[in-house]
Amino acid sequence: MHRKLLVATIAAGALLLAGCSSSTDETATETATETVAEETAVEEEVVAEDAAAAVTADDSNCAAPENYCIGLVTDTGKVDDKSFNQAAWEGTLLAAEKLGAFTKYVETTDPKDYANNISQFATKNYDTIVTVGFLMAEATTAAAAEFPNVNFIGVDQFQGAPIPNVAGLVFAEDKAGYAAGYLAGLMTKTNKIGTALGTDTVPPVKLFGEGFKKGALDANPEAEVTLVYHEPNNAFNDPEWGAAESRKQLDQGADIIFAAGGNTGNGGLIEIAKDPGAGTTVFCIGVDIDQYFTVPQAQKCLLTSAEKKLVAGTEELVLLSADGALPSGNFFGQTGIAPFHDTEAAVPADVQAKLAEILEGLQAGTIDTGCPACLDN
């Protein structure tokens, strides 16, 4: 019978472990204090910098015209996730600072709470509500119909049919892909550039891929760029495929690989970082946000990430919304590439200079990425 209890004790231990792994963002108490402290700091800064402008101190009276309130609902995850949630929150904070607005966030712990979390802000007469991530698109659309006087900003939410009080923050992925591809074209020594991509049935992924290929070929017509897409099913959650595909292309002589597509791409990045040449002769390129922070295991090989500028895009949309000029439908945020970090030394100065020029051209729209026409091939 003692053995039985021992099993029970072990089970209780296992239980605690299971409890921990079931919610992966267990930084709760520690960061909570930090976040609160940071928030207060930001608010104080606003007061200090812009004493003349009216600063909305709390959300007790958001309905009053002189008070401006901005709410943010995260997708399941924390505002310090180093990914979409954090970027959207940083952008919101920047906008709130300029507006003298009050802002706060609610972190979703259960996807079933999306609607409730959004309506908490709406029923308190918040003026603008930011919702993060395409999984929240349906809940955002529903809330926009229920609260027609509130402006909604859907980060990474493509708008099929425009709704007057919703702006979807989306990006021209082909431009980010083009810049990353151009860099790869300049950097490759073997003239072989690989990719491991999510499915081409999802337009943003195809735009990333085709833009990347065009960029690489424009920089280096000698280069051979292989575009490899995952099959549509489970396209973004197959790290083993991403790793195997990357490994195969490295073995075939590719020295730079663009691994893009959620966990599938991350699997590729991590595999490439294990290569003995990682960071010197072999490089990887991430996607969406600066993956130096989201996939630290890949830091060694990570040249850059084809980046959607979420912080700037969110800030701009919130400011437009406060101005009464919310652009309904899709709003294209800026794109670019993330800092080199550990691989900075490997990128020659003339490459960096050329790249800056390309980024400027993409921004100005003077460079043809071949897209969106590329979607038709």
Partner 1 sequence: MSVTDPSKTDLGFSDPDPQRGGPLGRLPSIVLPIASVLIAFAVGGLLIWLQGVNPFYAYWVMFSTALGTPEGLLRVMEKSTPLILTGLAVTVGLRAGLFNIGAQGQLLAGAIGAAWAGYAFTMPLAFHIPFAMAFGMLCGAAWASIAGVLRAYRSVSEVITTIMLNSIAIALVDYLASKPFKEPDQPISRTPEIAETAALPNFGAIPTGFVLAILVALFFGWFLMRTTSGFRFNTVGLNSNAARYAGISVKRTIILAMAVSGALAGLGGAIETLGVTGRFEPAFNAGLGFDGITIALLARANPIAAIPAAILVGTLRSGAAALQFETGIEPEVVDVILALTLLFVAAPIVGRFLFRKRNIKTTRVTSGWGS
Beta carbons of 223 and 216 less than 8 angstroms apart? yes
**Is 366 a binder of partner 1 (CB under 8 A)?**
no
Please, what is the angle between helix 310-322 and helix 84-99, to 10°? 40
What phi and psi, each to the nearest 5 degrees, are found at residue 23? -120, 110
Tokens of 297: 């295991």
Report the site for partner 1 in 100-139 (rule: CB under 8 A): 104, 106-113, 116-117, 120-121, 134-135
Is residue 29 a contact residue for partner 1 (CB under 8 A)?
A: yes
Encoded amino acid at 245, one letter: E
Pick out residues in 34-73 that bind partner 1 (CB under 8 A).
35-36, 39
CA–CA separation, 57 vs 43, rounded Å? 8
**How far is residue 23's CA from residue 109's CA, in Å, rounded to a whole number?**
9
Task: Report helix, strand or coil for 51.
Answer: coil
- We find the least distance from the C-beta atom of residue 146 to partner 1, in angstroms, to be 12
The reply to whether 228 sits near partner 1 by the rule CB under 8 A is no
Tokens representing residue 290 in the block:
């600066």
**Does 33 engage in binding with partner 1 (CB under 8 A)?**
yes
Whole-number Å distance between alpha carbons of 27 and 30: 6
Task: Pull the structure tokens for residue 254.
Answer: 């590719």
Residue of 1, 52, 161, 364 that binds partner 1 (CB under 8 A): 1
Helices (H), the chain: 2-22, 28-49, 84-99, 114-123, 137-146, 173-187, 203-219, 239-251, 262-273, 291-294, 310-322, 349-364
**In the complex, least distance from residue 45 CB atom to partner 1, rounded to whole angstroms:** 18
Q: Is 161 in the site for partner 1 (CB under 8 A)?
A: no
Residue 165 interacts with partner 1 (CB under 8 A): yes or no = no
CB of 124 or CB of 341, closer to partner 1: 124
Taking the C-alpha atoms of residue 340 and residue 267, their distance in angstroms, rounded to an integer, is 20
Q: How far is the CB of 79 from partner 1 (least distance, A)?
A: 10
CB of residue 136 to partner 1, shortest distance in Å: 11
Q: Regarding beta strands 335-337 and 302-308, do their DSSP bridges make them parallel or antiparallel, or are they unpaired? A: antiparallel
Is 252 a binding residue for partner 1 by CB under 8 A? The answer is no
Report if residue 4 touches partner 1, rule: CB under 8 A: yes
Instruction: List the interface residues with partner 1, window 197-216 (CB under 8 A).
Output: 202
Closer residue to partner 1 in complex, CB, 120/330: 120
Stretch that binds partner 1, among 32-40, 186-194, 243-251, 347-355 (CB under 8 A): 32-40
Residues near partner 1, by CB under 8 A: 1-2, 4-5, 7-12, 14-16, 18-19, 22-23, 25-26, 28-29, 31-33, 35-36, 39, 76, 78, 104, 106-113, 116-117, 120-121, 134-135, 202, 233-237
